[in-house]
């Protein structure tokens, strides 16, 4: 059923991902309108397309649909582990190549089954058995070994080790090693008796010497490594402690300095203190002089601004203006009251001229003639009595 849903989705989609397994890809063949289906075993994440389609088609939940997909994947993997191709209905076959990668072949033609890699490796390991060949080569040397053993029985017990050594020379390397192990692991009672009779003080040394092919036990170098490692650890610990102490001393240098003798630190000479005071005086004098110069420059700049302002005021005072006359009063008191009223109404009123005993009051005054007449027309439009006087 799952392969049926995959085939349905590939008709309208270029990719259908089977979660935790791989993706079926649709590509247009070059030079034709046919489409080719391939398989990519790297895309394994669940994009929800297949699970959602199954849930909708079977009217089940997405969790149940995902379980169906997982069961489908398990069936595929069982067949592929057995090196058998798995048929995807309506699409083709999934199979494993000799390297173990999952491949896809479209169509109804079933791909050839690959032999299991285990049988190949077993077949590759079958030839050449060096042990059997060695045993065949050793057969001629067996009578010589028996003769030497017979001679060893007839000879005195003190010389029993010599024929064994001669027999050992005729044996192969594997037999020598096995004889040496047996001789080292379990010394016979006869060897012990011969050692005592020969007057050898240490029986263990004699038994060791009786096997000429035996190797001396190699002492492991692990203790040396441990000793060198412990030495390195000790040195590293000392370095860390010294470094930590130096760092703490640097942070608390004032406290450490009190613990050390004063002879280690030179006292400040009185001449150096005098030089510092003179330098401070010179620096203070330099700052004072700069401050005075700045004050002088500021006062000069302020004087310039004041003179410019006075000149402008004088110029404005002497310059004739266009006054918008509001009225003329014989008493100055009445004129001042009228000015106060006009200013409260928002005008820039003033008493600008006294002539023939009359004080004239203006609504406003302008240096520019055009501005004066613009204001005149505005007041006239409001039916306010006004006239223009240049004074």
SS3 labels along 314-348: HHHHHCCCEEEEEEEECCHHHHHHHHHHHHHCCCC
Whether 97 and 35 share a structural domain: yes
The neighbour count for residue 79, using CB atoms within 10 Å, is 16
Is there a domain that residue 231 lies in? no
Are 94 and 86 in contact by the 8 Å Cβ rule? The answer is yes
If you count them, how many residues does the chain have?
Answer: 391
Residue 363: which pLDDT band, with cuts at 50, 70 and 90? very high
Whether 93 and 137 share a structural domain: no
Rounded to the nearest 5°, which phi and psi values hold at 356?
A: 55, 35
H/E stretch holding 391 reads none
107 CB burial (10 A radius; 0-12, 13-18, 19+): exposed
What is the rounded radius of gyration, in angstroms, for the C-alpha atoms of the chain? 60
Nearby residues of 5 by Cβ (< 8 Å), 6 or more positions away: 50, 53, 54, 57
List the domain range (segments joined by +) for residue 370: 320-390
The neighbour count for residue 176, using CB atoms within 10 Å, is 17
Is there a domain that residue 232 lies in? no
128 conformational bin, left if phi > 0, alpha if psi -120 to 50, beta if neither: left
Of 160, 183, 209, the domain-final residue? 209
* Cα dist from 238 to 235, 241, 327, whole Å: 5, 5, 106
73 CB burial (10 A radius; 0-12, 13-18, 19+): middle
Is there a domain that residue 223 lies in? no
Is there a domain that residue 292 lies in? no
Whether 335 and 364 share a structural domain: yes
Of 159, 189, 209, the domain-final residue? 209
CATH label of the domain that carries residue 115: 4.10.520
Each residue of 275-317: pLDDT tens digit? 578 899 899 999 999 999 999 999 999 999 998 988 887 776 6
The whole-chain average pLDDT of the chain stands at 74
Whether 30 and 136 share a structural domain: no
Each residue of 157-186: pLDDT tens digit? 444 344 343 344 445 555 555 555 554 544
Is there a domain that residue 94 lies in? yes
Whether 78 and 187 share a structural domain: no
Percent above pLDDT 90 for the chain:
22
Whether 116 and 6 share a structural domain: yes
Whether 106 and 144 share a structural domain: no
Q: Distance between CA 332 and CA 350 in Å, rounded?
A: 12
Whether 97 and 194 share a structural domain: no
Each residue of 67-76: pLDDT tens digit? 988 999 999 9
pTM over 0.85: no
Of 89, 120, 151, the domain-final residue? 120
Whether 81 and 153 share a structural domain: no
Is there a domain that residue 11 lies in? yes
Whether 15 and 113 share a structural domain: yes
- What is the per-residue pLDDT for 219? 52
- What is the per-residue pLDDT for 160? 39
Q: Distance between CA 197 and CA 186 in Å, rounded?
A: 20
Beta strand extents in 14-135 (DSSP E only): 15-18, 22-28, 35-40, 86-88, 92-96, 102-106
- What is the per-residue pLDDT for 374? 94
Q: To the nearest 5 percent, what fractions of the chain are helix, strand and coil?
A: 60, 15, 25
Whether 115 and 39 share a structural domain: yes
Is there a domain that residue 107 lies in? yes
Are 8 and 53 in contact by the 8 Å Cβ rule? The answer is yes
Q: Distance between CA 172 and CA 139 in Å, rounded?
A: 10
CATH label of the domain that carries residue 336: 3.30.70.1070
Whether 114 and 150 share a structural domain: no
Nearby residues of 19 by Cβ (< 8 Å), 6 or more positions away: 44, 45, 46, 50, 51, 66, 69, 70, 73
> How many distinct structural domains can be found in the chain?
3
């Amino acid at each position: 059923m799952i392969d049926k849903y995959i085939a349905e989705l590939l008709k309208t989609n270029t990719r259908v991902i089977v979660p935790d397994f791989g993706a079926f890809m649709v590509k247009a063949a070059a030079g034709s309108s046919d489409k080719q289906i391939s398989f990519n075993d790297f895309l394994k994440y669940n994009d929800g397309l297949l699970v959602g389609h199954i849930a909708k088609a079977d009217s089940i939940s997405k969790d149940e649909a995902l379980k169906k997909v997982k069961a489908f994947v398990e069936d595929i993997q069982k067949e592929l582990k057995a090196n058998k191709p798995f048929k995807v209905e309506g699409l083709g076959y999934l199979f494993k190549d000799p390297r173990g990668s999952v491949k896809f072949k479209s169509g109804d033609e079933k791909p050839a089954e690959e032999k299991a890699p285990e049988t190949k490796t077993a077949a590759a390991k079958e030839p050449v058995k060096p042990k059997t060949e060695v045993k065949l080569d050793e057969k001629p040397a067996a009578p010589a070994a028996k003769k030497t053993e017979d001679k060893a029985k007839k000879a005195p017990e003190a010389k029993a080790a010599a024929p064994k050594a001669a027999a050992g020379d005729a044996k192969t390397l594997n037999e020598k090693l096995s004889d040496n192990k047996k001789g080292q692991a379990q010394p016979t009672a006869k060897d012990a008796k011969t050692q005592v009779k020969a007057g050898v003080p240490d029986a263990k040394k004699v038994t060791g010497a009786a096997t000429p092919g035996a190797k001396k036990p190699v002492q492991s170098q692990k203790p040396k490594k441990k000793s060198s490692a412990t030495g390195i650890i000790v040195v590293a610990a000392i370095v860390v402690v010294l470094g930590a102490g130096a760092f703490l001393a640097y942070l608390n240098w004032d406290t450490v300095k009190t613990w050390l003798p004063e002879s280690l630190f030179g006292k400040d000479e009185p001449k150096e203190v005098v030089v510092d005071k003179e330098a401070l005086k010179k620096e203070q004098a330099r700052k004072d002089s700069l401050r005075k110069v700045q004050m002088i420059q500021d006062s000069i700049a302020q004087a310039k601004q004041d003179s410019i302002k006075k000149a402008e005021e004088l110029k404005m005072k002497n310059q004739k203006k266009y006054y918008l006359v509001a009225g003329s009063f014989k008493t100055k008191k009445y004129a001042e009251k009228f000015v106060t009223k006009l200013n409260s109404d928002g005008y820039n009123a003033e008493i600008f001229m006294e002539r023939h005993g009359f004080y004239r009051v203006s609504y406003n005054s302008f240096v520019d003639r055009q501005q004066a007449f613009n204001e005149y027309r505005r007041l006239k439009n409001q039916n306010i009595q006004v006239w223009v006087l240049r004074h």
